[in-house]
Amino acid sequence: MTHYPYPLKAKFWTPGVLVLLALMAAGAIAAVARFTGGIGYVSNLSTARPWGLWIGVDVASGVALAAGGFTTAFVAHVAGRHTFEPVVRPALLTAMLGYTFVVIGLLVDIGRSWAIWKPMVYWNFNSVLFEVAMCVMFYLNVLYIEFIPIVVERFKGRVDLPGLLSSLNRPIDALLGLADRILPKIMWVFLIAGVVLSCMHQSSLGSLMLVAPTKVHPLWYTPILPLLFLTSAIAVGYPMVVFETTLATSSLKLDGEMQVLGPLTRFTIYLLGLYMALKIGDMVVRGTYVYLLDGTARTNAFLAEMLLGVVVPWLMLLSDHVRRSRRALFIACTFIVGGVLLNRVNVFVVSYQPPVSEASYFPAIGEILITTGLIATLMFLYRFFVTHLPVLSAPAREVSS
């Protein structure tokens, strides 16, 4: 099957983009407040609750929902199922932007943003976070390298910088040419390294909370937490591709690519089914089902995560009808994406019980504005990139009123 990714000629400044700009501006104001008044000025974080919305959503969910990058790279390039190639580039773009924003989110969350390089020098091999940080750093670079061919394809022989910069045209073009000659020969190393690094830190993100056995609610605290994080990240990869592709093709008035997305979600039945089996089996083995009906907010968050985020969409995907319907498939995949998001928030925030203080936590407006601002910027850049670079290959939809 051949597909031809091309830069879109879509109108850029739509009302939706203006909404994104407003969210970005609000987030920027909150970020200025963060870097002048401190984390305490914009957030509800405390001694008892050191991690909140930023770690739960910007970092943990950001990493999980960027899993489309390595799962599509695996299926199309490593396993050689080339029918799925059309979704590789958009998933790669999402992963690249997602991880970039994980790092930006971390810069906001850590107290000494300027010291973020220090883990490269000071190593603690006992620290799960150290391993996560190293993997994220390497993987982000792998993602940038995987993205270079897209830039090469668009600009090789066509570098035309304006004004004073025009003297750089030839050197840049030479660099692109060099990349074009070398990268195809060694790209397999980066493709596989990307999958390996992803498996490592997706699972280790789950190990992070194992250091606090007395603080994490037993519904979530299990020795197989890293395995659950890995399987859920792999399971959410394709649904996330469906989610973002459907949003993008709707917004940009392109064909829905159902001939790719439908078959892709057939894998999800097995992957999500495996995650569901592990999660329920773990609950049975450890006997934590005793909490299920205690009616607390924590337990209800667990039930929502499992029923709405896993069981319902899994049952939906079993139906051929759902997998052929663009709308139904989008709904099922949205539930799965929301379920993984809720799971990460649950593990890092909801399940966390400070042992002494009865401190409850709800994100402050400043935290929320920074998170929404980051997500809006990510979507803005996605639109910018697909407009100017050959990422999407879906043909324009037939015009119908």
Partner 1 sequence: MKLDRRGFFKIMGAAAGASLASSPPSADARSLKAPPDAYGCLVDLTRCIGCRKCEEACNRVNELPAPDRSFEDPTVLNTLRRPDERTYTVVNRYFPGKLDSQNQLVPTYVKIQCMHCQDPACASACIVGALTKKANGSVHYDVSKCIGCRYCMVACPFEIPAYEYHDPITPRVMKCTFCFERISKEGGLPGCAEICPVEAITFGKRSTLLSVAKKRIRENPARYIDQIYGETEVGGTSWMYLSGIDFDKLGFINVPDQPTPKLAETIQHTLFSYLWSPIVLFGLLSGIMWTSHKNGQPNDTEKGEDR
Query: CA dist 13 to 16, 101, 250, Å?
Result: 8, 23, 16
195 or 272: whose CB is closer to partner 1? 195
283 or 306: whose CB is closer to partner 1? 283
CB of 39 to partner 1, least distance (A): 5
124: how many CB neighbours lie within 10 A of its CB?
Answer: 10
17 or 183: whose CB is closer to partner 1? 183
CB of 331 to partner 1, least distance (A): 31
Tokens representing residue 55 in the block: 């770690």
29 burial level (CB within 10 Å; 0-12, 13-18, 19+): middle
CB of 131 to partner 1, least distance (A): 7
**Residue 250: which of 149, 392, 352 has the closest Cα?**
392
Question: Under a CB-based contact definition with an 8 Å cutoff, are residues 317 and 265 in contact?
Answer: yes
- Give, to the nearest 10 degrees, the angle between helix 225-251 and helix 365-388: 60
Question: Under a CB-based contact definition with an 8 Å cutoff, are residues 199 and 230 in contact?
Answer: yes
16 or 223: whose CB is closer to partner 1? 223
Q: Distance between CA atoms of 326 and 55, rounded to whole angstroms?
A: 33
Q: Distance between CA atoms of 111 and 393, rounded to whole angstroms?
A: 42
CB of 216 to partner 1, least distance (A): 10
CB of 107 to partner 1, least distance (A): 10
113 or 166: whose CB is closer to partner 1? 113
- Whose tokens are 């759902």? That residue is 322
Question: Under a CB-based contact definition with an 8 Å cutoff, are residues 87 and 241 in contact?
Answer: yes
166 or 296: whose CB is closer to partner 1? 296
Question: Under a CB-based contact definition with an 8 Å cutoff, are residues 92 and 73 in contact?
Answer: yes
CB of 4 to partner 1, least distance (A): 7
CB of 334 to partner 1, least distance (A): 28
214 or 401: whose CB is closer to partner 1? 214
CB of 315 to partner 1, least distance (A): 30
348: how many CB neighbours lie within 10 A of its CB?
Answer: 24
DSSP 317-362: HH-HHHHH-HHHHHHHHHHHHHHHHHHHHIIIIITB--SS------
159 or 187: whose CB is closer to partner 1? 187
CB of 135 to partner 1, least distance (A): 9
101 or 221: whose CB is closer to partner 1? 221
Tokens representing residue 111 in the block: 């107290």
